[in-house]
């Protein structure tokens, strides 16, 4: 009986110890689980936080990249515009559309007229010094070239009028040339107008002398007078319409679209 009780007591103690051990193990497992769970949560939180930080950094970097890209694009825009303008400057266009100034037709007409006046002046000068009759000119009546070219009024300050006309038209050919019209110097255009004013004044004197002093006219002299008046009118039109500016060169020029 006593042995049975001792055995049962021993078994009970062993069972209590085993239960305590199991309970302890369970408690340890729960703690480990809790620790693991806590660690997982902490790691997850840290991971999330790290992810947010990385995302924020990426966002900041992306924003900075975009901002820098925008600024780079803004900086490169003038360069591209400048490149476009340089490209436009390489475009060849007629100079008449590129620069202000008299039209090309006016330059050509005035140059041709000056050449015609020079030709007549050369012929009159040769006829004066050779004392030869002028071709196709009448010797009687109102039209009498010989009477005009041999009159006292055919000299001014001791210089033959034919020589003065030759000197004037030598200068006129130069000043009426397209290169003179295209000159960038304002003095050239002022000199053109001044010379024509003097030329027209001298022509008016010669017309007066022919009609009221000599009583005859010379067809060659009249042609010179008409050319001088035409050049004067065209020069005044050019000055009024385009001003005293360089004209349009004949050769192409590299320009921008706004010119």
Please state, in angstroms and rounded to a whole number, the distance separating the CA atoms of residues 65 and 240: 59
Please state, in angstroms and rounded to a whole number, the distance separating the CA atoms of residues 66 and 79: 20
Q: Indicate the SS3 state at residue 229.
A: helix
Residue ranges per structural domain of the chain: 1-91, 95-251
- Are 193 and 239 spatial neighbours (Cβ–Cβ below 8 Å)? yes
Please state, in angstroms and rounded to a whole number, the distance separating the CA atoms of residues 187 and 111: 19
- Which of 138-142, 227-231, 247-251, 254-258 tops mean pLDDT? 227-231
- Are 173 and 114 spatial neighbours (Cβ–Cβ below 8 Å)? yes
Can you give the pLDDT at residue 182?
86
pLDDT digits (tens, 9 = 90+) for 24-36: 545 444 443 433 4
Encoded tokens for 168: 């004037």
Can you give the pLDDT at residue 101?
64
* Confidence band for 13, pLDDT divided at 50, 70 and 90: low
pLDDT at residue 146 greater than cutoff 60: yes
- Which of 24-33, 36-45, 47-56, 136-145 tops mean pLDDT? 136-145
Higher pLDDT, 179 or 76: 179
Cβ atoms within 10 A of the Cβ of 115, count? 15
Cβ atoms within 10 A of the Cβ of 222, count? 17
One of 3.40.50.2300, 3.20.20.70, 1.20.1440.130, 1.10.240.10 is the CATH number of 95-251, namely 1.20.1440.130
84: alpha, beta or left? (left if phi > 0; alpha if psi -120 to 50): alpha
pTM over 0.75: no
Q: Indicate the SS3 state at residue 1.
A: coil
Can you give the pLDDT at residue 229?
97
pLDDT at residue 95 greater than cutoff 90: no
pLDDT at residue 2 greater than cutoff 90: no
What sections of the chain are H helices per DSSP? 2-89, 95-98, 104-130, 145-149, 161-175, 178-181, 186-208, 219-242
The mean predicted confidence, pLDDT, of the chain is 72
Mean pLDDT of 138-167: 89
Q: What DSSP string describes 39-96? A: HHHHHHHHHHHHHHHHHHHHHHHHHHHHHHHHHHHHHHHHHHHHHHHHHHHT-EE-HH
* Confidence band for 246, pLDDT divided at 50, 70 and 90: low
């Amino acid at each position: 009986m006593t042995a049975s009780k001792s055995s049962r007591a021993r078994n009970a103690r062993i069972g209590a110890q085993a239960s305590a051990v199991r309970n302890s193990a369970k408690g340890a497992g729960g703690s480990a689980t809790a620790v693991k769970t806590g660690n997982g949560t902490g790691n997850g939180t840290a991971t999330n936080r790290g992810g947010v930080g990385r995302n924020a950094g990426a966002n900041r970097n992306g924003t900075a990249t975009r901002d820098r890209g925008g600024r780079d694009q803004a900086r490169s825009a003038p360069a591209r515009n400048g490149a476009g303008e340089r490209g436009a400057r390489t475009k060849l266009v007629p100079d008449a559309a590129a620069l202000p100034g008299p039209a090309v037709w006016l330059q050509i007409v005035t140059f041709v007229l000056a050449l015609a006046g020079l030709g007549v002046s050369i012929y009159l000068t040769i006829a004066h010094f050779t004392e030869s009759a002028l071709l196709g000119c009448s010797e009687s009546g109102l039209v009498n070239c010989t009477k005009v070219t041999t009159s006292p009024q055919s000299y001014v300050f001791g210089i033959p009028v034919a020589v003065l006309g030759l000197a004037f038209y030598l200068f006129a050919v130069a000043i009426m040339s397209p290169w003179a019209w295209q000159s960038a110097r304002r003095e050239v255009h002022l000199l053109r107008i001044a010379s024509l004013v003097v030329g027209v004044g001298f022509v008016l004197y010669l017309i007066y002398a022919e009609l009221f002093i000599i009583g005859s006219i010379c067809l060659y002299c009249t042609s010179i007078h008409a050319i001088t008046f035409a050049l004067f009118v065209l020069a005044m039109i050019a000055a009024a319409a385009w001003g005293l500016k360089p004209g349009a060169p004949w050769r192409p020029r590299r320009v921008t679209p706004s010119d």
